[in-house]
Amino acid sequence: MKGQAAKRPKSLVSVEQIERAIVLIRGHKVMVDADLAALYGVATKVLNQAVTRNERRFPPDFMFRMTKSEKDELVTNCDRLQRLKHSTTLPRVFTEQGVAMLSSVLNSDRAVQVNIEIMRAFVRLRQMLDAHKDLRRKLAELEKKYDNQFKIVFEAIAELMTPPEKVPRKIGFEVKEKSAVYGKGSKRKRS
């Protein structure tokens, strides 16, 4: 069996679940305590109790509490976190290192296995971002070299690489009807 990659056991959680749970807060890719608890199969309260008992293992670059405005924005943008809307407790968020540390305070087989999958997801995300940076750098080099000959091509590629702008949705509704004419001065034909 030399030369063959070792097969990984079937994952307890999907890659999509993990990647959906990674959010950007204060410039850090983090995971919210409620999402982690769901992935680990424990109550959020249990996860936070374990963290509180081992607080010295979680410095600010591993874990921090969200502010009220950060929580409100996250709840607004992530439907899956609507349950946090009326919570009086501000959620904790964990960086990649904080998630790795969680495996040392949650001693279940599931926690260890889920942690491995989360670490793999963070690595994949980092690789995708690095590949995107490399592509952008190489494109800039080619653009300098062949600027006049392929200017239109480079502009088209740059446009394709730029994420589309999000158009904010209007809240509420708009009534489109002709305005009614009121008063004595209206010259309305009667039939």
Cα 43 from Cα 49, distance rounded (Å): 10
For residues 50 and 125, the model is more confident at: 50
Is the pTM here over 0.95, yes or no? no
Q: What angle do CA 182, 174, 164 make, to 5 degrees?
A: 150
Q: What is d(CA 115, CA 121) in angstroms, rounded to the nearest whole number?
A: 10
Task: Look at residue 21 and give its three-state secondary structure.
Answer: helix
Over residues 89-99, the mean pLDDT reads: 90
pLDDT tens string 138-180: 766 666 666 555 566 666 767 777 766 766 776 766 667 776 6
| Domain definitions of the chain by residue range | 15-122, 131-161
Q: What is the pLDDT of residue 53?
A: 93
- The count of other CB atoms within 10 Å of the CB of residue 3 is 4
**pLDDT value of position 187:** 57
